[in-house]
Structure 1
Amino acid sequence: MNKDYDYIIAGAGCAGMSLLMRMASDSFFSSKKILVVDADDKSLNDRTWCFWEKESDIFEPIVHHVWEELDFFSTHFSTVLDIAPYQYKMIRGIDFYAYVKNTIASLPNIEWKKASVKRLLGATELLATQTTSTHQITAGIELNDGTTVFASYVFSSILLEPIQKSPKDFHFLQHFTGWEIEAAIPCFNPGRAVFMDFRVSQEHGTTFMYVLPTSATTALVEYTLFTENLLPDEAYEKAIREYIRSELKIQDYTIVHREKGVIPMTTHNFPRYQDNHIYIGIAGGEAKASSGYAFKSIQKRTAVIVKALKQGKSLASNKSFTEKKGHLYDAVLLHVLHFQKMPGDQVFADIFKGNKSADVLSFLDNESSLFTDLKIMSSVPTRIFLPAALQEMITHVKR
């Protein structure tokens, strides 16, 4: 194993492998020495990513399924969401990992090391190494086996330390358990997915179901919560089982795959960089604080990084105005949920009831115009959201 590289990618999750794929697909990086470090070999179907987009991107060849219409259900409002010009897409983890690994398999400039990252190296340690390296050394990591490796840039998606919780921030979790089931008889419409079904108990907080059919007999059924605390494992299983029985009316089925996860939904201000250590993925604050969605923002960020590297521009960039605006909107929603000023299911029902579905999706992706933002914000009670917005604006200024 070499000791120094042009780029080190620490963590081969969605962000790390998305960045790797963009580098591997661009001839500019064919002469660059790239090291990927992860404790896992990424051979399991450990998660599913869903997202909406108007145009195809780099991972279109492995999109597992596409939906043109989505159902929204709540006790306040229910409808079929016409999401054009968007499409709602699913990518399975196992397909994602295999696609990237197959792409880099024949590339001699890319090396994969199965190891855990212990820490990022400081400036003093890097300075001592500079004279013995063939590359410009400005970043480095120490692995748990005692090995140290160096590069011009380290792109890290690993949270090496717990999130430092400030009393000024809100800290929710998106936690979920999903079953991919195969029913004994056809019972699904593979052309329409259930985007959110809030017709489940809201006793723990904002809670809903996804149903993502991929054929007439198969679907991913996922129980999802936006709350500040996790539930016992058996609570997730019980909720899914009951939903399949009572709402989907399915009695005879087989569970072919299980997945679960926890994603931070927090107003914590994640640093984007520290010297030439660049933070990406959840570690870079790319999980949307109001929804937990991260795949699309990860694709945007990795594309920006690749472009900047090719142009020789600095990667030490902070959030754009659009990103800061989205962060403020997220903070307002989490404020309302934290202080229990309005139930989450009613918030989402009001937003979807009063606006075009495509406008809501662009709003959730931080891609909407100010006019659309104002229209969406006017669809929720001003007496609740305006005081929350004013308070969060003051907090934002002080951050």
Structure 2
Amino acid sequence: MNKQYDYIIAGAGCAGMSLLMRMVSDPFFASKKILVVDADEKQQNDRTWCFWETAPDLFEPIVHHQWKKLDFYSNYFSSELSIEPYTYKMIKGIDFYNHVKTNIAASPNIEWRKTTVKKLVDTTFEIVATNEIAGIELADGEIIYADYVFSSILFEPIKTAAHEYHFLQHFKGWEIKTATDCFDSSKAIFMDFRVSQEHGTTFMYVLPTSANTALVEYTLFTEQLLEDNAYNEALKKYIGETLQIADYEILHEEKGVIPMTTKQFPYAKGNNIFIGIAGGQAKASSGYAFKFIQKRTTAIIEAIKNGKNVSFGKKLKDSKGHLYDSVLLHVLHFQKMQGDEIFASIFKKNKASNVLAFLDNESSLLTDLKIMSSVPTGIFLPAAFHEMKQLM
């Protein structure tokens, strides 16, 4: 069994390419042989990532637009939210892919293969007394080995146990261009729950990038997907009736599904390291993943450089966040309270910056307690006790 590479990145999505970008940006990895494997060449603008942060990070050069103020709307509470010290940012998928590919173009130590990864190779029982190698099997049967494989691929559908919850964040977005100036590009609509809640927790995003262009996205947190036409009709209705825009063209369309699950994903199996959704970096209560991926890939780079264990597990704040996520999904699953009312209550009674820190698993215990006291204890406390029992 011969090692052909130092590192293999299986899957060139957000997680794989974020890790690759961090490697190519650090001189430590200039002499390392790196293989990237994905069946897609990443030439399409297939998604948009939005996130908030207090300081610029690695991908600041490709931030397409950013906002310091956000609007929140619901039938229970509406307000403009000042989110300082955070800034809400948008990155387009095609800009992200092109940025990473441009940066690796001059790196002879990085190889890209357009093919399918059939499975990861578990070498645990193939090496005596050590487990210092990992591998992948390609669609044609070829097996390739490296010190570490970093995989963001979900090889089979997510299966949850009876005590786990599995929601889907599913969305469809239209980037529209209006005939006249309709938008204030200095602020975005973060959540607008003034749409039908018949399917479950449902809201709109409106992300203006100029006076006459914006991404309008219909988003749901539910356990089932909708028929495709339902997304289209909801977008038409919202743009026409709520935004009161009649004359517009659709410049771009995107659609996606993100798992919101309390399933505990493994961080590693031997030297096969899981990243992205496969590593549990999509927050179960919101579906946000971009910043969690950046934290995880940053930590991996630092561990490699310092000779530390790369297969490290979750930190205490992550476990705390997992419990809070479980409680929210418990309440939604058993329909004890509607999602729009929950989010309205939280944003009404707390500083927006504290809510964003809470959603990032970065809030203090005092902030956590204040946010938890914003929702009815008669509903959430029994749910919390139930979920704590499941974790014991």
Q: TM-score range by the shorter chain?
A: over 0.9
> Which residue is equivalent to 2:104?
104
Aligned mates of 1:298, 1:355 — CA distance in 2: 26
- Which consecutive unaligned segments of at least 5 residues does structure 2 have? none
User: Could you give the per-residue CA deviations for residues 171-191 of structure 1, whole angstroms, max 9, x where no partner exists?
Assistant: 000000000000000000000
Aligned mates of 1:329, 1:50 — CA distance in 2: 22
User: Could you give the per-residue CA deviations for residues 235-294 of structure 1, whole angstroms, max 9, x where no partner exists?
Assistant: 000000100000011000000000000000000000000000000000000000000000
The answer (yes or no) to whether the contact 1:69–1:191 under 8 Å persists in 2 is: yes
The answer (yes or no) to whether the contact 2:3–2:133 under 8 Å persists in 1 is: no
User: Could you give the per-residue CA deviations for residues 345-381 of structure 1, whole angstroms, max 9, x where no partner exists?
Assistant: 0000000000000000000000000000000000100
SS of 2:210's equivalent in the other structure is coil
The answer (yes or no) to whether the contact 2:12–2:36 under 8 Å persists in 1 is: yes
The 5-angstrom pairing of residues 1-399 of structure 1 reads 4-123=4-123, 127=127, 138-397=133-392
Aligned mates of 2:59, 2:125 — CA distance in 1: 38
The answer (yes or no) to whether the contact 2:176–2:213 under 8 Å persists in 1 is: yes
The TM-score normalised by the length of structure 2 is 0.98
The answer (yes or no) to whether the contact 1:3–1:148 under 8 Å persists in 2 is: no
Aligned mates of 1:140, 1:293 — CA distance in 2: 29
User: Could you give the per-residue CA deviations for residues 66-110 of structure 1, whole angstroms, max 9, x where no partner exists?
Assistant: 001000000000000000000000000000000000000010000
Aligned mates of 1:124, 1:363 — CA distance in 2: 38
CA shift, 1:341, in A, is 0.3
SS of 1:165's equivalent in the other structure is coil
Aligned mates of 2:311, 2:154 — CA distance in 1: 19
Aligned mates of 2:281, 2:224 — CA distance in 1: 21
The amino acid across from 2:207 in the alignment is: L
The answer (yes or no) to whether the contact 2:123–2:135 under 8 Å persists in 1 is: no
Aligned mates of 2:64, 2:258 — CA distance in 1: 22
CA shift, 1:161, in A, is 1.7
The answer (yes or no) to whether the contact 1:126–1:140 under 8 Å persists in 2 is: no
The answer (yes or no) to whether the contact 2:68–2:187 under 8 Å persists in 1 is: yes
Aligned mates of 1:244, 1:383 — CA distance in 2: 38
User: Could you give the per-residue CA deviations for residues 320-342 of structure 1, whole angstroms, max 9, x where no partner exists?
Assistant: 10000000000000000000000
Q: What root-mean-square deviation, in Å, do the aligned CA atoms of Structure 1 and Structure 2 show?
A: 1.3
SS of 2:252's equivalent in the other structure is strand
SS of 1:214's equivalent in the other structure is strand
Name segments (4+ residues, structure 1) moved above 6 Å. Answer: none
CA shift, 1:145, in A, is 1.9
SS of 2:253's equivalent in the other structure is strand
The amino acid across from 2:165 in the alignment is: F
CA shift, 1:126, in A, is 5.3
Of 199-208 and 138-147, deviating more is 138-147
Aligned mates of 1:124, 1:390 — CA distance in 2: 38
CA shift, 1:122, in A, is 2.2
> Which residue is equivalent to 1:133?
none
Aligned mates of 2:39, 2:324 — CA distance in 1: 36
Pair 227,315 (structure 1): closer, same or farther in 2 beyond 3 Å: same
Aligned length: 390
User: Could you give the per-residue CA deviations for residues 119-173 of structure 1, whole angstroms, max 9, x where no partner exists?
Assistant: 1112268549x9xxxxx96100000022211100000000012212211100000
Aligned mates of 1:238, 1:258 — CA distance in 2: 14
User: Could you give the per-residue CA deviations for residues 15-64 of structure 1, whole angstroms, max 9, x where no partner exists?
Assistant: 00000000000000001000000000000000000000000000000000
Aligned mates of 2:194, 2:51 — CA distance in 1: 22
CA shift, 1:3, in A, is 6.9
